[in-house]
Structure 1
Amino acid sequence: MDAGLFTANNVWMMICTALVFFMHLGFSFLEIGLTRQKNTVNILFKNVFIICVGLLLYYIGGFNLMYPGFEEGDLGILKFAGFGIAAPEGGMTAAYADGGYTWWTDFLFQGMFAATAATIVSGAVAERVKLGGFMLFTIIYVGLIYPIVGAWKWGGGWLDSLGFYDFAGSTLVHSVGGWGALIAIYLLGARIGKFSEDGKPKAIPGHNLPLAAAGVLILWLGWFGFNGGSVLSADPELTSLVLVTTSLAAAAGGVSAFLTSFLAYKNYDLTMFLNGILGGLVAITAGADQMSPNNAVVIGLLAGVIIVGGVALVDRLKLDDPVGAVAVHLICGIWGTLAVGIFGELASFDQFLIQLAGVGAVAAFCPLTAFIILFAIKKFAGIRVTEQEELQGLDIHEHGMDAYADFRMNQH
């Protein structure tokens, strides 16, 4: 490969890695903004923990569990290439998907994706989860479950052989995290005061909507790396198309969600607008390289409607999701994955059935494993803080500090 092209590919992939890393700040801001002031330190701690431990777990075994080198005759379900990482024989450079960039860059880019799956769970369980229980769940889910599912497609496993398509992770990242979030909030129960005695949901306003808005805009920026890097090269034409479809779906998702919310509730809901943008981003992620701009707009528009309906459905089921993670990452992740079989270059009834099979496989494996892990933690260590700790805030009880100490002192 031409040295200039190799360098350009590698630099682009490193930039995308940095953008995906930056998404963790976006997730942090979004979660902080949509929850109460008294739990800010707790949310920041969880998000910093996820990045650090996610990378270490991916180094220890996750990378080799996700890319084990399936061979002919393997079932393509589970294989492990060993602990730790080292440059492959022949040096540290390798050509992935004809992109041609270093093996180290590939590890770091994929490691950033691994941490994202756990961040999705973090927001859904905010304000009432025991920190120790959450950390233990993160270690097992990110260390084992995420790379096993990833290997089925991206590691050349059985879903890849079947023809399943997921460009950048609507299913392999977002719905894996979304299923974990759904099971976690089911086992945790709702926050105190979320539902009235007759079961009707009550709003628990977030304390900083400017931070939430900043978080979503940072996430949108980060998605240029999330999807753009998944081209696995600096191919000008394909990378440009991916960034266009990604942005159009995000914009359409936001507009669709706020309009749908306005028609349903007669107000301009900023939080629904923000989650609509994220829903559009999640939905386009499975097929961003396969879609025309028209396709991307339609996928985003439908994702925005799905967001409003998904948030209402979660409330109706008496589940408490403070940041809308289930609607955004799980439901829109499923929609985006199925959309590959409906729109774009791969659209066909057979492809739709293959996409449905992939969604079904993950829908069977992830909730089951998440339930086993969380139920065991709940039984032996506990996953929910006490009523007093929840009412007074996790920052004081779990961390012994306040995110806005000066502000609170001035109040007194």
Structure 2
Amino acid sequence: MPWSPRAALLRDLVLGVLGTAAFLLDLGADLWAAGQYALRGRYLWAALVLALLGLASAALQLFSWLWLRSDPADLHGPPAPGRGLALLHLLQLGYLYRCLQGLRQGLLVWQQATPSEFDLGYADFLSMDISMLRLFETFLETTPQLTLVLAIILQSGQAEYYQWFGVGISFVSISWALLDYHRALRTCLPSKPRLGWTASVVYFLWNLLLLGPRILAVALFSALFPQYVALHFLGLWVVLLLWVWLQQTEFMHDAGSEWLYRGTVATILYFSWFNVSEGHTRGRATIHLIFLLSDSVLLVATWVIYGPWLPTEISSHMWLAVGGICFLVGLALRLCYYCWLHPSCHWEPEPVDGTRVDGPRSLFACEHYQPFQNRRMTQLAWSFFPKAKDESILPGKGEVNGVL
């Protein structure tokens, strides 16, 4: 059953609140864990948690600031990005500012009986950037933190209550960020099929179940050989970075910042699939899956040989059984999703009378409504949904409709 316009606006507002709350909760869990490690004399663990948090936050603020500077000067209203926003980003508050700005715009749209086209489009624009930044934060900070916590649990042989709390929050946050990004991709397309509850649940679960074994494999290796895990990451990261470069991405507005994006994508690919270009997506996804699976098997094999040295109370057979079952179930759900639930399986163009009610833009039958376009997300959406590309022409760089 399709969402009514008011219900869709309220749904998006509630999801925005939950996303912001999840970010703050995850941040609080990391700071809590770092504080507990420091109090117990585990200064190296505390330093690693804070270092991962700081590096990820710096990259996130840089992305946010570069996007603000490349947007049209009058898009966000007066004043244009200046010293105040620069200071917020310098204080590592830029992403939180964007989340609050998106919530404010969403509340403004929901309160209006008949929202203006600009307010609806601007709310979509902000939510797309927030979804993308949330995805970056997830794989630059949450996923490495989760791997570190699991490695600490395996190495110490016990888990504290704050560690289990962080593990649970992290797993849910990672899968939620992927689902939110997937939903945001369709928001920037002129026509998009609805994402039903069944498809959303299956998409959430297969990402959770496939990510879990990968993170566990890296954590097992990290617990055994903490001195080599950085070399392992850098070795694979360079290979993945080369792969992204060969796909000739054009996500950012200049060559220098494009390498920041490519490096971030390579980090995501270390843990999960992420499509950045058009073409044979299924083939690239299969190659990537085989690549990660082979690497994970090698990491697990290393742990099987040396694993008995770890002081954990859980047997190796239990870890292997749980990881293997999660991977097989996740792979089965992924195949089911792309065979029967993926939008390309049920592609329907946008009705010309504007009767579809799956989101804020459906409030108006505006056939030519495009006051601005989030070029960043539109490029990725066309790569993910190639059938939508022939309905639009991507504006060139520097144009108002080609916001970077």
Query: TM-score range, shorter-chain basis?
Result: 0.3 to 0.5
Larger Rg: 1 or 2? 2
TM-score of the two chains, using structure 2 as the length reference: 0.38
Task: State the TM-score, normalized to the length of structure 1.
Answer: 0.37
